[in-house]
């Protein structure tokens, strides 16, 4: 099951991503979740701190990618 992170009205980073909620995750289930487009995998039942950590990682990756694109555009 994939859950999409939605942008809240108070959100400043503008990031959306997919988190897979996987019951009893194993290597095969995690691989399938990533193949389906998940950027993070969280075991069910959800542990709020674990979910928050995955969201931080997605935001960090997005901002790093955006910064690298901006740097390459200004170098031209």
Residue 16, pLDDT score: 56
Spans of all domains in the chain: 2-74
Q: For the whole model, what pTM was predicted?
A: 0.44
Residue 42, pLDDT score: 73
**Of residues 14, 19, 9, 2, the one with CA closest to residue 59:** 14
34-42, Cβ contacts within 8 angstroms, sequence gap of 24 or more: 36/2, 37/2, 38/2
Bridge partners of 4, per DSSP, are: 18
Residue 56, pLDDT score: 73
Please provide the distance, in angstroms rounded to a whole number, between the alpha carbons at the two ends of the chain: 42
Residue 12, pLDDT score: 45
Residue 13, pLDDT score: 46
Q: Render each residue's pLDDT in the chain as its tens digit; 76 residues.
A: 445 555 444 444 445 567 777 778 788 888 887 787 777 777 776 666 776 777 777 667 766 766 676 666 665 5
* CA distance linking residue 40 with residue 52, whole number of Å: 11
């Amino acid at each position: 099951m994939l859950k999409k992170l939605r942008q809240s009205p108070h959100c400043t980073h503008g990031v959306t991503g997919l988190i897979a909620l996987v019951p009893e995750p194993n290597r095969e289930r995690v691989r399938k979740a990533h193949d389906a487009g998940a950027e993070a995998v969280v075991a069910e039942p959800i542990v709020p701190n674990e979910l928050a950590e995955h969201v931080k990682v997605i935001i960090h990756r997005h901002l790093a990618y955006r910064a690298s694109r901006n740097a390459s555009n200004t170098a031209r």
